[in-house]
Amino acid sequence: MLFIASLIFIAISCDSESESEDSQYDATLNENNDHDVKASGKQTVVIFDVVNGVEAGTSTLHRNNSGITANYKATGLIAGHAYTMWWVIWNNPEECDIPGACSDGDFGNPDVQVELMYATGHVVGNNGKGNFGAHLNENDASETINPLFGLPSYGGLADAQKAEVHIVLRSHGPKIPGIVNEQIGSYLGGCPQVFPYGFPPFTEIPDEPGECGDIYASIHQP
């Protein structure tokens, strides 16, 4: 969700009233992803609840020569709350301060060409599980939110096989009648409209209307 000045936060939009029953963000996560499974373009890693420091599901990323597809199976979510999923695309991860372990400190480096993009969102059902699926084509920057944080757009995903991909889950708190579409379809939906647009990333779980924050993250290295 995004962060940024300190960390990030940060396609298919669900119906505003639909609920799906199944449906430190830094080098630490990279080190902890020790049960990665990667084969023929498919990689599964752990999702971390970075607020509480616990595992919270699995994230599977499929890569091909034209784009990426994610299947994000999160647990421990709050029933009736709105969530959005975000791509954090590090197009040139070799340019990060720690190559292969990109983090918030690299957002300001134009050589990295980081792109922050909306993936999907929905309201979570009674079992507290959220299944989020999204696809991103190369060179499609239509869902970028870089300008929101004073960053230029770098054209989206440049190379699906080369990019380091972080997937961030943002909570928009309890669904609010009349603005659910905004809550599940934008970074600021239901959030304070002034920077930092909610809690600092990965610091607190939103539980009241009008509270927002980035809470979960997974890291997919090329």
pTM of the model: 0.85
- The rounded distance, in Å, linking the Cα atoms of 12 and 100 is 29
At 76-134, the pLDDT tens digits run: 999 999 999 999 999 999 999 998 899 999 999 999 999 999 999 999 999 999 999 99
Tokens of 124: 């979570």
In three-state form (DSSP H/G/I as H, E/B as E, the rest C), the secondary structure along 60-74 is EEEECCCEEEEEEEE
How far, in Å, are 18, 145, 195 from residue 13 at the CA level?
A: 10, 16, 25
Six-digit token string for 147 = 């300008």
- Is residue 28 very low, low, confident or very high in pLDDT (cuts 50, 70, 90)? very low
Residue 13 has pLDDT above 90, yes or no: no
Per-residue model confidence as pLDDT tens digits over 124-183: 999 999 999 999 999 999 999 999 999 999 999 999 999 999 999 999 999 999 999 999
Amino acid making up residue 55? E
The C-alpha angle 132, 134, 135, rounded to 5 degrees, equals 165
Instruction: Give me the count of residues in the chain.
Output: 222
Tell me how many degrees the CA angle 220-172-125 measures, rounded to the nearest 5: 85
Q: What is the mean pLDDT of the chain?
A: 86
